[in-house]
Amino acid sequence: MSAEQLRDAALAVLHANDLGDWTKPAPRLYPHQWSWDSAFIAIGLAGVDADRALRELESLFRAQWEDGRLPHIVFNPAAADYFPGPERWATAELTSAAPRAPRTSGLVQPPVHALALERIWQVGSAAIRKRVESLLPAAIAWHRYLATARDPDGSGLLSIYHPWESGTDNSPRWDEPFSRLEVGESPPYQRHDLKHVADPSERPTQAEYDRYLWLVELLKEARYDDAAVHRSHPFVIKDMLMTAIFATASEALVRLSDSSDVAAWGKRAADGVMRSVSADGLALDWDVRASAPIEVKTCAGLSPLLLPALSPEQFRGMCALALGPQFAGADGLAFKVVPSTAPGSPGFQSRSYWRGPIWPHMNWLVWRALRLNGEQAAASTLREQNLGLLARPGARFAEYFEPFTAEPLGSLDQSWTAAVALDWLAATD
C-alpha cells in the first residue's frame, strides 16, 4: 500500500468511527468515548482538521468531574451494547463530583491530553488558538487532580486504582498485585468484549475480568473518594507510564499556560520516575500495599524515555534498552518496533492483549521522545518500521499486532492506530 493509500485508509477509519464531536475507539468493541484514545485521535487529526481535533478534546472535557478528574469513559447514551455501562459505575448516584450528564466511568487514564492541545495550538489559526486557551484552566485542573488526589504523599508518583487506569489492562505489571487480591461477591455480569474478537485468548481471562469488576465494586463502596481509596483499596500502584506521561504533558502544558504549579508538578513527577529506575535500567511500578516494586519487563518500564530533561547519557541508555535486544531489537520480530512486553520475559504472551503484542500508539510515544531528544535517525527508523507494519495487506489499523508474525489482532479499524499512522505520514523527517 502506498503512503497515499495508507493515509486515505486511515482517514476513512476515523471518518467511519466519527460520531460528530468525538470518535469511538473502534466500530463495535468500544462504542463510547475513551479518554486517552481521544487525545491520540486529536493528535492525528490536528494536521487534517484542527477544528475537529479540538472538538474531540472539548467534548471530553465537558465530562470532567468537579474535582478535576477526566473520566476514562464518557458514555454514549445511544450505545447500549457495552459492559460495564453507566448503571454499573453509578458515578452520578454515588458522588456529587461526577456529572449527571453525560454519564461517565469512575476511573481515569494516562493524561496525554496536553500533548494534543499543544499540537493543535501549533497548527491552529488564531480562532483555534483562542479555543485552546479557553480549555487550559480545565487542563490545569486535570493536572492538579492528578498531582494532589493521586499523589497525596507528594512523592511525585501517581497512583492508579485499577488496571484499566493504566491503559495497559492485563499487562504482566498487574499479575503480582492480582495474585494477592481476594475477590468478593459482585453482581453477576455478561462480558461484552468477547462478542467482538475472533479468539477469546486475545483478551483478558475470566479470572482477570472478575478482578476488574471486583475493584469497581470496591471503588463504588468508597464512593470514588480518593482519600477513602488511598486508605483501604487493595489495588494502589504508583504507575510509571502514567507518571511519565504526566511529566511530559505537564511540560507541554507549561509551554501553553506558563503555569508555575504545572511546572512544579511535572518536575516532581519526572524526579519520581527517575528514582524508580532499577539496576537494569527499567522504571518499576511500585505496589503501595505490598511496599514493593513490580519486577517485570514491559513497555511501561521504558517510561523514563518520555521524560523531559534527561541527560544525553541517560537518554542514550534508555534508547539502547528500547531499541535493543529486549524490546524492538528482539530476535525474530516481524518489524523492529517496541512490543508491549519484552519477548521471552515472565508473563510475555505474543497474542494476548497487553502481554506482548505491539500497540502502535505506544510506539508513537517512543518515536516522539526520540525526535525531541535529537535521535533523528532512530526516530525515522522506528516510524518506517511502524508504517511498514500498518501498510501490510490486511493490517486494517488493528488494535494490536502479534510481534513475530505481524498478524492483526483485537478490533480492526481502531481509531488511535489510524490516528498515529496519520501523524507519522505527516512527519517530514
With respect to ligand 2M8, which residue has the nearer C-beta, 34 or 364? 34
Specify the residue, 34 or 265, whose C-beta has the smaller distance to ligand 2M8: 34
- Assess 34 for contact with ligand 2M8 (CB under 6 A): yes
Q: Which of residues 343-372 bind ligand 2M8 (CB under 6 A)?
A: none
Cα–Cα distance for residue pair 317/329, rounded to 1 Å:
14
CB of 310 to ligand 2M8, least distance (A): 25
The span from the CA of 374 to the CA of 372, in Å, is 6
Q: Interacting stretch for ligand 2M8, rule CB under 6 A, among 32-40, 48-56, 255-263, 337-345?
A: 32-40
- 30, 80 Cβ separation under 8 angstroms: no
| Distance separating the N- and C-terminal Cα atoms of the chain | 20
Report the C-alpha gap between 35 and 416 in whole angstroms: 11
Bridging pattern class, strands 400-401 and 159-160: unpaired
Specify the residue, 72 or 383, whose C-beta has the smaller distance to ligand 2M8: 72
The residue (of 50 and 420) whose beta carbon lies closer to ligand 2M8 is 420
DSSP state of 263: H
Q: Measured from the CB of residue 304, what is the shortest distance to ligand 2M8 in angstroms? A: 21
Q: Which residues contact 5 (CB under 8 A, 6 or more apart)?
A: none
- Shortest Cβ 30–ligand 2M8 spacing (Å): 5
The interface region with ligand 2M8, picked from 53-61, 135-143, 164-172, 180-188 by CB under 6 A, is 164-172
Q: How many residues bind ligand 2M8 (CB under 6 A)?
A: 10
For ligand 2M8, the binding residue among 118, 151, 193, 423 (CB under 6 A) is: 193
Q: Out of 36, 75, 348, 364, which residue is the one contacting ligand 2M8 (CB under 6 A)?
A: 36
CB of 203 to ligand 2M8, least distance (A): 8
| DSSP per position, 359-412 | -HHHHHHHHHHHHHTT-HHHHHHHHHHHHHHHTSTT-TT-SEE-TTT--EES-S
Residue 37 lies near ligand 2M8 (rule: CB under 6 A): yes
Q: Tell me, residue by residue from 274 to 293, as one string, x for binding to ligand 2M8 by CB under 6 A and - for no binding.
A: --------------------
Active site residues: 169, 399
The answer to whether residues 62 and 21 touch, using CB atoms and an 8 Å cutoff, is: no
User: Which has the closest alpha carbon to 239: 321, 150, 326?
Assistant: 150
Residue among 163, 134, 162 at smallest CA distance from 58: 134
Task: Report in angstroms the alpha-carbon separations of 370 from 53, 84, 238.
Answer: 24, 37, 25
167 near ligand 2M8, rule: CB under 6 A = yes
CB of 385 to ligand 2M8, least distance (A): 21
Beta bridge partners of 401: 358, 408
The pattern of x and - marking residues 118 through 157 that bind ligand 2M8 according to CB under 6 A reads ----------------------------------------
* Residue position matching grid coordinates 468531574: 65
51/308 Cα distance (integer angstroms): 28
Q: Which of 56, 151, 169, 287 binds ligand 2M8 (CB under 6 A)?
A: 169
Nearer to ligand 2M8, 121 or 178 (CB): 178
Contacts with ligand 2M8 by CB under 6 A lie at 25, 30, 34, 36-37, 72, 164, 167, 169, 193
